[in-house]
Structure formats: C-alpha cells, structure tokens
Structure 1
Amino acid sequence: MGVWYSDVELEELLESYPVIKAQAAVEAEELKHLFPNCTAGCDGQPRGGELPDGTGAYAVRREERSRNTRRAKAVEIACEALTAQERELVRLMYFERWGRHHIKLHLGVRRSRLFYIRRSALDKLAEILL
C-alpha cells in the first residue's frame, strides 16, 4: 500500500513538537497579561467596519498567540490513538531525537519491526493530523 501523505511534512511537525510546546507555554503566560485597553461602548447606534476601540485587534492577537497551543494539543491528542510501543517510538525518535539504533535497543525489537512500528504510527498520526 502506498503512502498518501508526505512523510516529510508529518515528521517536521513531530520534530517541531517540543518547540511548539515551549512556545505555547510562553504564549499562555503572555495571554495572562494581554487585555484590551478598553471595551466597546454601546450607544444603540449601528457602527460600520472597524472597531474604533481596539477590541477586534485584541481578539486577533489572542488568536495568533493561541495557534501553537492548538497545534501542540493536536499532536498530544493524536498520540493518544497510538499503541504504547508506537507512542514510545514517536517520543524517542521525534521528540527526543534518539537514533534508530538506540531506539531499537531500548524497545528490544529487530530493525524490521522498528520500521513497521514507525510506519504504523505515522499512518495513524497522518489520518488524524493531516
């Protein structure tokens, strides 16, 4: 069976997870201090176009800063669909960047089994994330 997704794209996402997770933590801290400097007034008159009080800009900034949080959470949720062995392989190979030889020894599997576990994990993650 052929692969219907790009290994490169999925592996880049998995390898960037530790950085995305760290950025999400920093952004969550920043969001605690990001408040609008004023709120929209309501005088009963309809307004057009832009919000003059900056509330819309505040919402856009919050949305931009929460992107990494959503990406990190998506990877975490997708990994829950993996078997324990697949999850361990993904953690070691992509998050901690262990070499295949060390992963093979740690999991106690042959090289061919390691590649099977990797392919199975990537297929499951691609169905969820891509």
Structure 2
Amino acid sequence: MAIDPTLKAGIESDLRKYKRWKARIKEIDDLLADVSIGSGTSDQPVGHSGKINDPTFEMTINRSRLAQERAYLLRRVSRVENALSAMNDEQRQLVRLWYFEEKDRKYIEAEMGIVKNTFYRIKESALEIYAEVAGLISLVR
C-alpha cells in the first residue's frame, strides 16, 4: 500500500525531528529543575501597560509554557517510540540509521547487507507501520 505523499513527508519529518525533540525535553527538564518559584502573588503592582510587573508571575507563566511544550513533545516522542516498537528489527535498524543517524543509503545497504530495492521496500513498510500505529491510516492485511 502506498502512503499519500503529504502524509509520508509528515512521518519522515517526525522521524528526523525525534532526536531534537528528546534533546529539547531534557533541556526543558533542566530549565524546570533550575527555576524556583517564590510564594505569594497577591496585590502585585501593575505597570503603565496594565500588565503585572511581578517576576514571580512571569516565572509562573514561563514554567507553564515550558510544561505545555514538554507535554506536546512527550506526545510526539511517544508516537515515534510506539511505532518503533511495532516495527521488526530490520525496519527499526533502517529507521535508526536513515533518520536518526542520517547515514547514506549505500552505507545502510552495506551495513544491513541489502540491495537498493530492499532498502526502499523496508523503508516503505516502516513508514506504513508508523502511519498505522499513529492512527493516520488503517492497514488491512
């Protein structure tokens, strides 16, 4: 079954971003661990713009934004990891080498002991599994 090209591009984008997402989650965790929130935000001064001029308030807003970003990234990472767990070893290895480690196709073919047609067959089947696990398509087998 061929995947819609737009859907395929989105899946491949997710796979390429996976490492960056994981790194950003760690960065957010570090930022959240470093930030301590003071207590008491009542009767805060209001500036000329009508906004609250309180560093604690700003810190709380920043923590909230970081927590939202972290939750979003965790969902994306989880989707990739769920798809990887549904793939067979050959598909996982190809995805790891091609998308995560950004190795050349010929390198992967030599590493896996496969030919060009097999490379593309394995890659397509891995993308189909991702799409199915992510609920993007339904494969009838």
TM-score over 0.5 (shorter chain): yes
Task: Quote how far apart the aligned CAs of 1:35 are.
Answer: 5.0
Which residue number in structure 1 is paired with residue 101 of structure 2?
Answer: 96
Among 70, 77, 80, the alignment partner of 1:75 is 80
Aligned 8 A contact 1:31 1:65 in 2:
no
Q: Does residue 22 of structure 2 align to residue 21 of structure 1?
A: yes
Match of 1:8 in 2: 9
1:38 aligns with 2:18: no
Per chain length, whose mean CA-contact separation is higher, i.e. which structure has more relative contact order (CA < 8 Å, sep 6+)? 1
The percentage of counterpart residues that share the same residue type is 28
Deviates more, 1:74-83 or 1:59-68: 59-68
- In the alignment, which residue of structure 1 is the partner of 2:45? none
- What SS class does the counterpart of residue 37 from structure 1 fall into? coil
1:125 maps to 2:124: no
4+ long deviations beyond 6 Å: none
Q: How many residues align?
A: 119
CA contact (8 A) 1:24 1:72 kept: no
Partner of 1:66: 71
1:5-38, CA deviations, whole angstroms, 9 ceiling, x for partnerless residues? 6211111111111111111111111222345433
8 Å CA contact retained: 2:21, 2:73: yes
Separation in 2, partners of 1:12, 1:77: 16
Distance 1:116 1:60, change over 3 A: same
> In 2, Cα distance between the equivalents of 1:68 and 1:39?
31
Structure 2: 5+ residue runs without aligned partners?
A: 43-55, 137-141
Alpha-carbon separation, structure 2, partners of 1:66 and 1:30: 15
Amino acid at match of 1:10: I
